[in-house]
Structure 1
Amino acid sequence: MSDNVAHALSGAGGGIVSMALTYPLVSISSRLQVQKNDDSKDAYKNTVDAFVKILAKEGPRGLYAGLSSGIFGIAITNGVYYYCYEAVKAIFEKAKGQGKPMSTPESMLAGAIAGSAVVFATNPIWTVNTRLTVRKGVEGKKSNFLGVFLSILKNEGIAGLYSGVMAALVLVINPIIQYTVFEQVKNKIAKSKDLTNFDFFLLGALSKLCATGITYPYIVIKSRMQVSQNSEDRYTSIWDGFKKIIASEGVGGLYKGISSKITQSILTAAFLFMAKEMLFDWAVWVLVLTGARKAKIAGKA
């Protein structure tokens, strides 16, 4: 068996660790993204204000609303992404000859293929997670993953579970930017030194900063499309979302919650890349013990 499964397992594990450590920022940024009325007394003014109000009104549990679905979602997301990415990467490297890294266009194509696979596999999970996190479209006893999932399926059909899927597909450019920056910078640094866990932490932070800063308006639109809205507020397309947000909230509306999102994204990516590298050898070891992978002997897998 190739290393694709080991990359998928270590990626999923790294995602779980990073999501668990940064989830309060995920919760706050999601609520700020979908907030349209800034005039009410309950409206969140910024990240700190949101943190204080959520804590006062809902307690610590409010900051972790939807955590289980978030962890499930990130595990599936990273597992699928890394498996597909490494599979495409292996094809390119085999065609070019061992030892030759992917070029920038090849990194981008690998990211596009893996990212698209992730969108179709996980969009329903993130739609449910967004509604659980921001507490919209969630009713009483249905305030759990299965209850919200079935409610959306009953009231909105399959299309409801894939709300915001077009914006999500556009956001495939986010991991493309992230992993292209990561791979290219890593390859340059690796020529002069052996990379440490802290290097991977910094590379993860840098690559995610670039990706999130460029794609943030699409993140806002996707989050709002995934939340249950009345007919007047619903965005019929990405372009419709851009027009309505700019018309009612100005350009600033496209960047609501960006400070908490960038902080969360940078920390998540940094912890993810560092944890993934640390967990990779463990994943290989588990696969060898279970017989799913042959042990490496004399330099051969």
Structure 2
Amino acid sequence: MTILPFQGNAAEPAHDIVDVTPETAIRWLANNERNRNLNGAKAAQYARDMRNGNWQFNGDPIRFDAKGRLLDGQHRLTAIKMSGTTQRMLIITNLPEATQDTMDIGRPRRMSDQLQISEEVHSTLLAAILRIVTAYDLGARSFSTASPTQAEMRDFLRAHPQVRRAAELASKGQKYVPAMPSAFGATYFLAARRDVEWAELFFGHQLLEGTGLHSGDPAHTLLRRLSFARANGQRMGLDDQVRYILLAWNAFRDGRHLTKLQAPKGGWTTDNFPEPK
């Protein structure tokens, strides 16, 4: 018989595997009296994975105390409600109230950890690049706070294994290019999807090696702009670096001289983002 959190008064904790419907999730969330504040963005991430079929049963439990109050699982239950899907969950009931003090205190397993376990080279840098390019394909044009799910990033890597080349180049560029490695690698990938040979020339030779460049060459102007910002302590965040690198790449693709890199009048918006050519 399915063990539900509001049935019986067992003296010991009990467990069962339950297919949790949106209706059940709503009912259980009504007993969410002792929990941290809900992170809506995290619940939306989970819901996106559930809708896309990327959520897997992994044994992480939904936990209730002996009075039927929800101790752990509000984000997953909220995601079930948001996604309108049914998900299989391990349910543990009749836990002492004090056990909540020991829940969710470990370090979460990050994407870089997953990639390292899979023996990916440059795992930390690869994860940072994947976050940007996956978010880009999901429609984001600002990346400092982008938060694709790990499942979405794993799917992206399977579909686009050439991201590994972006991580390789970005790793080499840490010594020579005065930009965030993740910005360098992500823009290389976006450019290489347009033209891999030109991307190798611009990123792998001109920017990485800095050879044969003259005033007015887009790569020369970009390196000068990045170096000036670093030398003078100017704060140039991830989003600005991505935009400036793409501006220089587009000028390179167009065969244009470029003597200055600056934000558009009125500032950056989604409409004036420099889509890679």
Does the alignment reach a TM-score above 0.5?
Answer: no
Choose between structure 1 and 2: higher helix proportion.
Answer: 1
TM range (shorter): 0.3 to 0.5
TM-score by length of 1: 0.32
TM-score by length of 2: 0.34
RCO comparison, higher one (Cα < 8 Å, 6+): 1
Give the structure with higher Rg (CA).
2
Choose between structure 1 and 2: higher strand proportion.
Answer: 2
